[in-house]
Structures are given as C-alpha cells and as structure tokens.
Amino acid sequence: MITKKFIIENTKTLIYALLIALVIRSFLIQPFYIPSSSMEPNLLVGDRIFVTKYSYGYSKHSLPFSPPIIKNRIFYNEPKRGDVVVFKTPADNRTDYVKRLIGMPGDKIQFINSNLYINNSEVIKSKISTNDKIFCGDNTIKVFTFEEILPNEKTYQSVYLKNFPYQNSDPFYVPDDHFFFLGDNRDCSKDSRYLTSVGYVNKKNLVGKVQFIFFSSDKRKGSIFFFWKWNETIRLSRFFKKIY
C-alpha cells in the first residue's frame, strides 16, 4: 500500500535529483546536439558534445532560460583564440551556436583573395586534401581541406569550396568585450561575417567551451531507435573524441 510518507519521501528524492541536475547543467557541464554542418569536418550533424560551463565564467546565459540574475559575467576567464565555443546569438540572445573563435577584442579580421587575415597577417593554411566531400545542409559538396595555424599556434582543419566563392570582405574590427567566430566549413556557415544575423559576440553571450563528443549518430542513415541499423547509424569512432 502506498502511504503518504512514501509519496513525500519519493517526491523529495525527485526534487533533490532535479536540483543536482540543474546545478551540474548550469555550472559544470552541459550536453548539446550538433544540428548543422557548419563545423564540418570537425563536428558532424548528429554529434552530441559536452560543453564545460565554467571555462569562461558565468553569465545569465549559463542558466536555463537566461534569467536576468547575473548582470554581467562573473569569474571570467578570457577564451583563447581557436577555442570551439557555444554561444547565444546576439540576434535573439536565445539560439545556441557553436563556432571557432578567430578574432579577439581589438582584432582586425579580413578575407583577401579567399585567405584569412588577422591584424594584417595571413593565417597560414596548408592543403592536406583535394578530393574531400562533406555536407552543406542536405547537399554534398566537394572541398579542399586545409590545416590552418592561428597566431597562437592553434591548429585545426578547415574546408573551402573548390571555387573559393568567398573571396574578399571588408575589414571586421572586433569591439571591446566582443569576439569574432567562424565555422570550419567556411562556405557553409552563418557566423560573425554576417553582421545582421550573428556578427560580433559579446562576452556575456558565451555559454561554454566544447570539450569532446560523447555520442554520435548519422540521422541520414536512420533513427537510433532502429537498433537493427546501429551498425550504419552509430559512429563509434567518434565516441569520446576530443575537440581541438
């Protein structure tokens, strides 16, 4: 027989569990799902990532629904150039984006002849593949894959369409307390180059640093609920992959 005491004790246990989960999610680590191909080849659609919330300190966006409890940013640690970061888009302060941090406060960022320049110095990139295929939305695109080296020697892979459609840009001057982000899939990314939709990201909008992939599945090959297709849908090789 279910007693009143039984109901009360189990309700308390449930509340405690929810509070612990809330604390972990808000202040320690939070999972996110990758829904777009803007960070290919480093992050794929269907990757589930863990993001550390404490890496850059805390703002209102560290909490669910971004309540205006924290006015600015507390315990702030400035992110490093090249970090892969989750942030709230300035356009609505609600949508989560994940991109690579390229420009620091005070930097000048520009594309010249499809090459990326930071403070008038070209970012060195070495071509490592000429025949890769990746996704842009539901379309497959042929790309050149490069290894890029940022001024702080951070190294990662980026991809460009073979005809290099994004040739030249006006200079972007990153304001104080703001950052400039790019997707690694350079010709298939809505990022800080597009000032009306993303633009410069205030430090208050930083959510956390991407650390590793804990699970990955290819939804194009079927749902994870179809267990008989797990050999096709589950990407075991991406489990616990560190993100650089």
Active site residues: 38, 99
User: Secondary structure of the chain in the HEC alphabet?
Assistant: CCCHHHHHHHHHHHHHHHHHHHHHHHHHEEEEECCCCCCCCCCCCCEEEEEECCECEECHHHCCCCCCCCCCCECCCCCCCCCEEEEECCCCCCCEEEEEEEECCCCEEEEECCEEEECCEECEEEEEEEEEEEEECCEEEEEEEEEEECCCCCEEEEEEECCCCCCCCCCEECCCCEEEEECCECCCCCCCCCCCCCCCEEHHHEEEEEEEEEEEECHHHCCCCCHHHHHHHECHHHCCEECC
